[in-house]
Amino acid sequence: MGLQNKSDEELRQDKMDHLKEQIYSLIYGLAIGDALGVPVEFNERDSYHITKMEGYGTYNQPPGTWSDDTSLTLALVEHLSEKSDLFGLMDKFVAYRQGYLTPFGTCFDIGIATNQAIERYLSGVSPEECGGRGERDNGNGALMRIAPLAFVLKDRSDFTHNCGKIEKYTQVTHAHPRSLVASIIYVQILIDLLFNKSLEETIEDLQPLLEDYFRSNSEYWKEYQDQFRELFDKDFYQKQREEIMSTGYVVDSLKASLWCLGTTETFEGAVLKAVNLGNDTDTIGAITGSFAGALYKLEGIPDKWIQQLVNRELIDEKCQKLIECLDQ
């Protein structure tokens, strides 16, 4: 049936189905990458080899268990669904430490910078001032949770507005310009991938837009030039595995995740490559999983891994609330 022959209700249903597919693809992708990496977090590269959903290991959790990457992502999903303010979001981060939005009602992992931001909030600091601003405050704790912003920004054509919104949600935990630039690159790439572009098309189309925006802020431009410029060179994806760092440093995490996506051809290949890099396996797995979910869509994600996610009902519930909110 052609679009011109569809009723308004049928067109609305098509739009909702497409949105649902996008949201589940990205969130499942992130949660799967997270869960694959949880049992081997902090392990040295090549001291193990992950090929399937495993358990126990670092945190002694059963297979399919996800960590703070997914929990804090779900906190943002819930916040966006409720259309609450940043105080509401920070309250959810506080509740996470008590087990909220976790697989088993227990928080077993949280990043240092995120924990410090929560402590500042509890001491009375306003949310937009909670993020660390020092050179050492550039962990990947904002990058790992900010993916859902892509859904509320993808239909807006105002690039500057979108970047400002990404900055706002990053700086509640990470306020150094390096982390802000990383988040902007990450979410803008996700948006383009959700529009069915290839990674190559995305990189080519985004580069001039990002560079125009970063030039307007001397700190951003310096960080982009010094830390992230190579992501937009084809040679970056020719790098050898030993040249890719897989630490919790925001620059390393973004580069490793994009390299895993750009040097593989399937969802499974990308996330397994990511978690087998070692060190910060759950977060690099989660970021790679979000990229790969957006690129390969739900049909490209192994169903066995979706079914193995612990407390998937909670993930589904939060995703459905966001779908209903955005469909209004």
Q: What is the pLDDT of residues 103-144, one digit of tens each?
A: 999 999 999 999 999 999 999 999 999 999 999 999 999 999
- Using DSSP's 3-state secondary structure scheme, residue 249 falls into strand
137 is in an annotated binding site: no
> For 42-72, what is each residue's pLDDT tens digit?
999 999 999 999 999 999 999 999 999 999 9
DSSP label at residue 235: G
- The answer to whether 245 touches 257, Cβ cutoff 8 Å, is no
What's the mean pLDDT in 163-192?
Answer: 98
- The answer to whether 152 touches 76, Cβ cutoff 8 Å, is no
CA distances for 64 relative to 38, 75, 286, angstroms: 9, 19, 13
192 is in an annotated binding site: no
91 is in an annotated binding site: no
Phi-psi region of 112 (alpha: psi -120 to 50; beta: other; left: phi over 0): alpha
- The answer to whether 23 touches 151, Cβ cutoff 8 Å, is yes
For the chain, which residues make up each domain, given as ranges? 36-326
Tokens standing for residue 61: 């959790």
Q: How far apart are the first and last CA of the chain?
A: 25
173 is in an annotated binding site: no
Q: In the structure, what pLDDT confidence band is assigned to residue 156 with cuts at 50, 70 and 90? A: confident
25 is in an annotated binding site: no
Q: Which residue from 104, 96, 98 is spatially nearest to 59, judged by alpha carbons?
A: 104
pTM of the model: 0.96
Q: Does 36-326 carry CATH code 1.10.4080.10?
A: yes
69 is in an annotated binding site: yes
Residue, of 17 and 204, whose pLDDT is higher: 204
In the predicted structure, residue 151 carries a pLDDT above the cut 60: yes
